[in-house]
């Protein structure tokens, strides 16, 4: 039996006199039906007691996120140095890993 049939069967026994009364009766029947349809949470659905309120276990802990962030920053620094030295400086990009290259760069900053 569909929800509309329930409402129409109910209206046949005691038909309302006006449209407003019929609408009110129909809304009251739908509201009563919705109340019975509400499900109560079962034991599985109830959250366990947690002293940290709505704390959920993270997929990636904070320490893993920090390590990932630091490693990504290091990778970006190396790639940026290779692009800058090789692309803009028109030199071998792998010369960035040579300590003599860095010594030459630091010599520009030191003044005697």
Summarize pLDDT for 34-74 with one digit per residue, the tens: 777 665 555 565 656 666 666 667 888 999 999 999 999 99
* Cβ atoms of residues 92 and 86 within 8 Å: yes
The more confident residue out of 10 and 56 is: 56
- Domain locations in the chain as residue ranges: 3-37, 62-109
CA-angle at 51, arms to 50 and 57, nearest 5°: 55
Output b/e per residue, 47-85; b: 16+ Cβ within 10 A.
eeeeeeeeeeeeeeeeeeeeeeeeeeeeeeeeeebbeeb
The more confident residue out of 103 and 105 is: 103
The answer, as to whether pTM is greater than 0.85, is no
Q: In this model, does residue 2 exceed pLDDT 60?
A: no
Q: What is the mean pLDDT of the chain?
A: 79
Nearest C-alpha neighbor of 69 from the set 79, 77, 58, 57: 77
Nearest C-alpha neighbor of 30 from the set 60, 6, 54, 65: 6
**What is the pLDDT, as a whole number, of residue 4?**
60
Taking 3-state DSSP, the helix, strand and coil percentages for the chain, each rounded to the nearest 5, stand at: 65, 0, 35
Q: In this model, does residue 6 exceed pLDDT 60?
A: no
């Amino acid at each position: 039996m569909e929800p509309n049939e329930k409402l129409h069967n109910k209206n046949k026994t005691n038909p309302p006199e006006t449209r407003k009364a019929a609408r009110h009766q129909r809304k009251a029947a739908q509201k009563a039906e919705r109340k019975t349809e509400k499900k109560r949470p079962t034991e599985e659905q109830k959250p366990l007691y947690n002293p940290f309120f709505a704390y959920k276990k993270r997929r990636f802990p904070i320490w893993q996120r920090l390590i990932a962030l630091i490693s990504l920053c290091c990778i970006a620094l190396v790639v940026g140095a290779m692009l800058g030295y090789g692309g803009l400086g028109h030199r071998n990009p792998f010369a960035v890993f040579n300590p003599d290259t860095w010594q030459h760069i630091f010599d520009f900053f030191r003044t005697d």
